[in-house]
């Protein structure tokens, strides 16, 4: 598990958002309880008080976001100000990855382009010479 913290830095009189990697941890127990224990132990080792936490963000797996036994609710029970914000980037990555592997046309970089190359080249023509490299790459993979 990787740990990154985001915080407000006011040390120079200005408010800036800082983000720092603090640790990698081996996870022996991937339940909500086990992961929560790992998080709380890591924060304690770094002298970070969970009561100072103003939010929490994880991927969208059930053991992290679960509303009954997930990490987010366990942390929220200890600190009601630590609101959970799901990681939309992770969610988008999962969707795009799943979509790409479910469509034979999207597995090839030019899968869609191969079907309708003339239309694509017409659209690319406004890009100047770049349409020639697009055509060359797609014709080589047809």
Q: Both 84 and 112 in a single domain? A: no
The whole-angstrom separation of Cα 90 and Cα 60 is 7
Q: Are 84 and 66 in contact (CB under 8 A)?
A: no
What distances in angstroms separate CA 6 from CA 9, 31, 100, one per listed residue?
A: 10, 24, 32
Contact at 8 Å (CB) between 55 and 23?
Answer: no
Q: For position 6, what pLDDT does the model report?
A: 86
pTM over 0.85? The answer is: no
Report the percent of the chain where pLDDT is more than 90.
28
Same domain, 52 and 13: yes
Q: pLDDT-based confidence at 105, cuts 50/70/90? A: low
Q: Which residue segment(s) compose the domain that 124 sits in? A: 104-140
What pLDDT sits at residue 56?
A: 86
Q: Considering its fold, how many domains does the chain have in total?
A: 2
Is 75 domain-assigned? yes
In a domain, 58, yes or no: yes
Asked whether residue 17 falls in the same domain as residue 75, the answer is yes
Q: What is the mean pLDDT of residues 100-119?
A: 56
Residue 26 lies in a domain: yes
Q: Are residue 83 and residue 114 in the same domain, yes or no?
A: no
């Amino acid at each position: 598990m990787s740990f990154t913290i985001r915080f407000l830095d006011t040390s120079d009189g200005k408010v800036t958002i800082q983000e720092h990697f603090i640790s990698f941890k081996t996870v022996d127990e991937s339940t909500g309880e086990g992961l929560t224990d790992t998080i709380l132990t890591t924060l304690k080792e770094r002298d970070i008080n969970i009561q100072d936490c103003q939010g929490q963000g994880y991927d969208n797996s059930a053991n992290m976001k679960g509303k009954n036994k997930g990490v987010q609710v366990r942390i929220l029970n200890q600190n009601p100000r630590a609101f959970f914000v799901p990681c939309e980037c992770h969610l988008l990555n999962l969707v795009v990855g799943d979509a790409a592997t479910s469509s034979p046309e999207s597995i090839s970089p030019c899968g869609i382009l191969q079907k309708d190359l003339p239309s694509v080249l017409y659209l690319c023509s406004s890009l100047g010479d770049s349409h020639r490299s697009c055509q060359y790459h797609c014709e080589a993979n047809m």
